[in-house]
A and B are shown apart, each in its own frame.
Chain A
């Protein structure tokens, strides 16, 4: 397995270069350009200002030369500076937003999993029962509800009317003056609504996968054998069936890894959370190529690593699959 992993990692490097090259070209093909200094109405932006920027950003050089320079800087882990007027290093801009998004997404993922797995298992074992019907309706309602609408409703109820939770942002205005524990509680209370909204929508996916997977597993012969052996139902389901039903979830988890650093733009926008989603959407509108490419590199690397981890985990968990195993003659 080690050899397999190393081989995959070695292949990942040229794959990454290919991904970034194609993305670079596609980015530059999009209409619009980063040197339009202007807002929602036409501003008296001077030609010279634009020309100064084109020179500074080297946008007049041929595409392959721009890409080559970018790649050489990347090898030294220099992601360059943003094209936005603040001209800050790309790593700074991403680095100050990434932790927020990561924390939000991790907590969300943990909550979704801890709810979706039991819901899925119980729905499967009590198929078509009242519990199954109610939870099915519940998760589909959550899936169909628009995020921002639900967010606004909850903000009105818990924020404006009851005053229990803060409406937006990450911290209160007087955060610096609070004690350590008050600060932690303050931060947490700001996260409750956004995580609640995102979780409600995200439950549907995982719980349905879990339910489907469990339904297939309980029909297998070995489950019947386990029951025939006289094992308690709890052990049959909780130990033998569950382990096998979790396999597709492991794959999905692995593939979800790259999405952990992508923020939900709508949730961030409504709750005024300075996360990765807003940064990337703004970069896209402004055609801020260095920031977009920086994000791309991180996401691609994570995707490749996550794929590898998912495959390895799968082979570790499922004895029928051994990656890179040789056939014994």
Chain B
């Protein structure tokens, strides 16, 4: 946990200012980890709840990550590490998972943390009166028992590969919430807003709705006190305003847009004050089809589209080049991703040939392809509030027009989009994105059984080979086996193109240069936040 990024050199003071990793001196003093200073963050969204198990919005989870811990988490390489659990063991048949919990951990109010809290958190999540979006993570759990105050045994009905990572869910205090859960009023508990109590690196100080959240270091954190004493999360809904605050040094970190990263932060003063990082993001954008539509059910049409879109140009246009081409649903560089699968090259001639083979040969007076007397036109939907997706839709429209296909773009408000089009399957084509979590299992997205109105396979995809691979992939807990299945799955999906995988946008955070200890990796930069520090001589704000 305590990774000190810089080595202190007993050499002459060069007077160079901090450059993140590697600089030894700043303003005449050695860089040593120090406690203190305040870190001011900005959040685009308002925090909606301080019990992260009840929400799925990013703003609430960012604060939840500071206040709470799960049994496990991920390290820099996205491998599982124990947080509240010291160690764990799977039984040979993958049906039982036993955790040995860390001793001596206390809640922020001093109460000791025990296995009862873990059992309680599971019971609360599964309680029918609790509105948690994470119930499906624990569907296969038959029993959770505390064998002793520091051992928890989880029993599964069938082997569940995501079992381990599903326990990165934050553990909640039984002694404060039990009553509320029993009455079905967990949202009204003080834990949800005024007084959240966790085991995390930071303790709650105050919240002002729409304005800021303040947390202070938990000096008795089990991994050792975090170095930065105080964190203030300011709610600033406009990205443009956040950027101005960044330039005026009113905030210390921000996720930059592609334009800001590439064109607007290339001047001396900014580079002195901030470090920019770039790593592959965890979500991808795609161009999807309603596979119940006979035109799109024909694989040749989908493959034709894949050849017709120049992905590199798309990334250059929409993200100024700050993204990676997507070949499948697994994050590049992770164990499930198959590096041998290549992207469809830009080949409009081949696209045209494929369309002809599918029956789209003749063109009408307007230059549109026709079949059985009907021109090939469709409506492309995307959700309002995402400029990037609109631009992607426009590029798709232009690319397909050259093939002789007419595309009409419609942008619809999110809630209406979800209810009227996605859930009712009333769409022809969409531009949307998928986020990927810590486990590569994607059963809920691709399996043919997940096509109900509330399920996530909204493109209505049904491929028996894919079904089999998904089932066997999630039914074993040996990573080597799963890797084989997922590599094959990657290949099948790439060939079948049920959706056109477009690109993985890069994450582009900027962090104040006075902060040391940042080490980017597949998990990003935040995985070791308690180890970030500001050397004494660079500290800007007094500790709270």
Contact = CB atoms under 8 A, between A and B. Distances in A.
For chain B, give the interface size range. Answer: 35 or more
B245 A86 contact: no
Contacts of B130: 49, 52
B420 interface: yes
Interface residues of A, number: 59
A86 B135 contact: no
A159 B283 contact: no
A39 interface: yes
Interface centre among B193, B420, B434 (most CB of A within 10 A): B193
A36 B418 contact: yes
B132 interface: yes
Contacts of A46: 132-136
Given A50-B454, A173-B40, A160 B248 contact: yes
A158 to B, nearest CB: 10
Contacts of A170: 211
Given A39-B56, A173-B232, A31 B419 contact: yes
Interface string A265-281: 00001111011001100
Given A160-B248, A168-B236, A278-B237, A52 B129 contact: yes
Given A41-B432, A48-B128, A272 B241 contact: yes
B55 A173 contact: no
A38 B418 CA distance: 10
A274 B422 contact: no
B3 interface: no
Given A31-B420, A52-B129, A85-B60, A272 B236 contact: yes
B250 interface: yes
Interface centre among A45, A56, A148 (most CB of B within 10 A): A45
Interface string B411-448: 00111101110100000000011110000000010000
B287 to A, nearest CB: 15
Interface centre among B56, B136, B192 (most CB of A within 10 A): B56
A43 B232 CA distance: 28
Contacts of A325: none
A84 interface: yes
A43 B414 CA distance: 13
B456 A97 contact: no
A37 B241 contact: no
Contacts of B434: 41-42
Chain A interface helix/strand/loop/mixed: loop
Nearest to A168: B241
Interface stretch (B46-54, B359-367, B371-379, B466-474): B46-54
Contacts of B444: 44
A87 interface: yes
A85 B237 CA distance: 19
B247 A160 contact: yes
A156 interface: yes
Interface centre among A53, A269, A272, A286 (most CB of B within 10 A): A272
A14 interface: no
B211 to A, nearest CB: 5
Contacts of B123: none
B103 to A, nearest CB: 33
B184 interface: yes
A240 interface: no
Contact of B245 (A30, A53, A168): A168
Interface of B: 38, 40, 46, 48-50, 54-58, 60, 128-137, 184, 187-188, 192-193, 208-211, 232, 234-238, 240-241, 244-245, 247-248, 250, 283, 383, 385-386, 413-416, 418-420, 422, 432-435, 444, 454, 456, 458, 541
Given A88-B193, A168-B245, 14 more contacts: A31-B416, A36-B419, A40-B383, A44-B456, A46-B132, A49-B132, A51-B128, A85-B54, A86-B193, A168-B241, A169-B234, A271-B241, A272-B234, A286-B415
21 contacts: A31-B415, A32-B416, A32-B418, A38-B418, A39-B58, A41-B435, A42-B456, A81-B187, A86-B48, A87-B49, A88-B193, A152-B240, A167-B241, A167-B244, A169-B236, A274-B211, A274-B235, A279-B210, A282-B46, A285-B413, A285-B414
Interface of A: 30-33, 36-53, 56, 81, 84-88, 93, 96-97, 148, 152, 155-156, 159-160, 163, 166-171, 173-174, 269-272, 274-275, 278-279, 282, 285-287
